[in-house]
């Protein structure tokens, strides 16, 4: 049984008079013990809201949460606050993106670390201070006893993130949620922090839910990856199959848009056209259809399930026209099932994409695009 099993999680923000905003519209994934699972997506895809919902950190009012999130048999979403407070910090822990705003600026680091130790482990006084110093030492903060007396502003960014990690692992949690833990850090410091997280998972068997926008981080760290778009998982796969044979046009497009350090110079990027603002409601079809090069009428039917790719284990994709696993590089971006896919237009698509860089220009409505493509095939 998985340690954490999230099933059809939905989070809707309801405002005064404003239309409801569905930030997460049915996300399901699982995390096993000592597994690193990635939630990947761009801003606005609902990845952070998912993590906040799991930790019970969303405001009580103005938010509607649906679905289930079973952690070791108990549904986190229906837990009473008091019980949740016992779990948080001991069995569940979270690291946030911005280490400065996650620490109290007027309280010394030591007090903030010992607080957790006294709340969950009953340690007091010098025993707590000693343990806190050991924790800081373990996450690689030099001279921990001096650091305990310092305030957050006296620590560097990397050191603050280390302190937060020390607090998160103080009670050897079974699940650690890391929400963009390295985004605010420089790349050499990022490497240190990622290495530290890896060590924690290896040594303590902690399960890690890694929330990030950086596919490079995912490639180095995660066992399993869930790609989110507009509040739904559009592709879920193990790390290697995802990077080698991304099947959803969005995941595939993301990989084509990243400048790679090891790519030869002069190679043009293949961006995804439009922006997240062009999405449509999942009820009306695929939210990505307006930006997709392969979209057809079928994409707008609605009710797209996350289906297993034929012949694959555990590689699921929510798409009518999954991108075929092209041997070598994704030069032949043709859709998988050529029978109903726009096989002919696929060859022209990269060029088309490059020209069509204007985001959300009014001329591109999803219906028009889709109609064009179907005409070409039929």
Partner 1 sequence: MTLLELDEVKVHFPVRRGILFDRTVGHVYAVDGVSLSVSAGQTYGLVGESGCGKTTLGRAVLRLNEITSGRVVFDGTDLAALPAEEMRRARRRLQMVFQDPLGSLNPRQNIESVLAEGMAAHGLGADRAERRAKILEILDRVGLPAGSLSRYPHEFSGGQRQRIGIARALVLEPDLVICDEPVSALDVSIQAQVLNLLEELQDSLGLTYLVIAHDLAVVRHISDVIGVMYLGSLVEEAPSDALYSDPRHPYTRALMSAVPVPDPEVEDTRERILLRGDLPSPAGPPAGCRFHTRCPWRQPERCATERPELTDVGGGHRVACHYAAEIAEGTLRPNRELAPPILHQPGTLTGFEAEAAEAAAEPGAAAGPEAGPGGPPDGGPGQGPQPLIP
Residue span binding partner 1 (CB under 8 A) among the ranges 26-34, 73-81, 264-272, 337-345: 264-272
Q: How is residue 272 written in tokens?
A: 């995804």
- Which of 104, 153, 205, 216: binder of partner 1 (CB under 8 A)? 216
* Positions 157 through 186 that interact with partner 1 (CB under 8 A): 157-159, 186
**Of 31 and 225, CB closest to partner 1:** 225
Q: Which backbone phi and psi does 316 adopt, to 5 degrees?
A: -110, 150
Asked whether position 350 contacts partner 1 by CB under 8 A, the answer is: no
Q: Site size for partner 1, by CB under 8 A?
A: 64
* Positions 194 through 213 that interact with partner 1 (CB under 8 A): 194-196, 199-200, 203, 213
Where helices occur in 9-108 by DSSP H, the ranges are: 47-55, 81-87, 99-102
* Positions 12 through 51 that interact with partner 1 (CB under 8 A): 42-43
Q: How far is CA 62 from the centre of its chain?
A: 24
Asked whether position 327 contacts partner 1 by CB under 8 A, the answer is: no
Distance spanning both ends of the chain, measured CA to CA? 47
- Which of 12, 30, 90, 192: binder of partner 1 (CB under 8 A)? 192
Euclidean distance between CA atoms 247 and 325, whole angstroms: 7
Asked whether position 354 contacts partner 1 by CB under 8 A, the answer is: yes
Q: Contact at 8 Å (CB) between 232 and 249?
A: no
Asked whether position 153 contacts partner 1 by CB under 8 A, the answer is: no
- Which of 56, 89, 231, 253: binder of partner 1 (CB under 8 A)? 253
Asked whether position 190 contacts partner 1 by CB under 8 A, the answer is: yes
Q: Tell me how far, at minimum, the Cβ of 314 lies from partner 1, in Å.
A: 16
- Which of 30, 90, 100, 243: binder of partner 1 (CB under 8 A)? 243
Q: How is residue 131 written in tokens?
A: 């343990």
Nearest in space to 159 (alpha carbons), one of 172, 171, 146 = 146
- Which of 106, 261, 310, 329: binder of partner 1 (CB under 8 A)? 261
Asked whether position 252 contacts partner 1 by CB under 8 A, the answer is: no
* Positions 64 through 123 that interact with partner 1 (CB under 8 A): none
**Of 4 and 234, CB closest to partner 1:** 234
Euclidean distance between CA atoms 349 and 352, whole angstroms: 5
Residue 235, SS3 per DSSP = strand
Residue 60, SS3 per DSSP = coil
Residue span binding partner 1 (CB under 8 A) among the ranges 55-63, 79-87, 99-107, 237-245: 237-245
Euclidean distance between CA atoms 34 and 52, whole angstroms: 21
Q: How is residue 288 written in tokens?
A: 């990505």
Residue 104, SS3 per DSSP = coil
Angle at 261 between CA 258 and CA 267, to 5 degrees: 65
- Which of 32, 33, 86, 214: binder of partner 1 (CB under 8 A)? 214
Residue 316, SS3 per DSSP = strand
Residue span binding partner 1 (CB under 8 A) among the ranges 30-38, 108-116, 118-126, 239-247: 239-247
Nearest in space to 110 (alpha carbons), one of 89, 135, 85, 93 = 135
Residue carrying structure tokens 């695009």:
369
Nearest in space to 252 (alpha carbons), one of 265, 234, 230 = 234
Asked whether position 142 contacts partner 1 by CB under 8 A, the answer is: yes
Asked whether position 139 contacts partner 1 by CB under 8 A, the answer is: yes
Binding-site ranges for partner 1 (CB under 8 A): 42-43, 138-140, 142, 156-159, 186-192, 194-196, 199-200, 203, 213-220, 239-240, 243, 253-265, 267-273, 275-277, 354, 357-362
């Amino acid at each position: 049984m998985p340690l954490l099993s999230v099933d059809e999680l939905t989070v809707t923000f309801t405002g005064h008079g404003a239309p409801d905003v569905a930030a997460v519209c049915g996300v399901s994934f699982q995390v096993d013990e000592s597994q690193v699972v990635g939630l990947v997506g761009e801003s606005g895809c609902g990845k952070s809201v998912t993590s906040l919902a799991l930790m019970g950190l969303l405001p009580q009012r103005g938010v509607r949460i649906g679905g289930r999130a079973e952690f070791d048999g108990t549904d986190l979403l229906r837990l009473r606050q008091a019980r949740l407070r016992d779990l948080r910090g001991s069995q569940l822990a979270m690291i946030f993106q911005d280490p400065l705003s996650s620490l109290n600026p007027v309280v010394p680091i030591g007090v903030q670390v010992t607080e957790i130790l006294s709340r969950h482990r009953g340690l007091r006084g010098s025993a707590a201070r000693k343990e806190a110093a050991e924790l800081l030492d373990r996450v690689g903060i030099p001279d921990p006893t001096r650091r305990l007396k310092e305030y957050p502003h006296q620590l560097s960014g990397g050191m603050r993130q280390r302190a937060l990690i020390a607090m998160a692992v103080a009670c050897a949690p079974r699940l650690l949620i890391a929400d963009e833990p390295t985004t605010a850090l420089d790349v050499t410091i990022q490497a240190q922090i990622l290495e530290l997280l890896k060590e924690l998972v290896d040594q303590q068997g902690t399960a890690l839910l890694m929330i990030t926008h950086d596919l490079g981080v995912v490639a180095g760290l995660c066992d399993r990856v869930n790609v989110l778009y507009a509040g739904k998982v559009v592709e879920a796969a193990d790390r290697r199959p995802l990077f080698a044979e991304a099947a959803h046009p969005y995941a595939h497009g993301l990989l084509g848009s990243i400048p790679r350090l090891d790519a030869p110079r002069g190679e043009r990027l293949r961006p995804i056209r439009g922006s997240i603002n062009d999405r449509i409601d999942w009820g009306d079809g695929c939210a990505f259809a307006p930006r997709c090069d392969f979209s057809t009428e079928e994409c707008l039917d609605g009710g797209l399930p996350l289906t297993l790719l034929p012949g694959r284990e555990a590689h699921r994709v929510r798409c009518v026209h999954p991108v075929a696993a092209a041997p070598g590089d994704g030069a032949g971006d043709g859709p998988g099932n050529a029978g109903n896919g726009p096989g002919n237009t696929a060859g022209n698509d990269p060029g088309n994409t490059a020209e069509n860089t204007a985001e959300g220009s009014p001329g591109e409505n999803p219906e028009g695009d889709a109609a064009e493509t179907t005409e070409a095939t039929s």
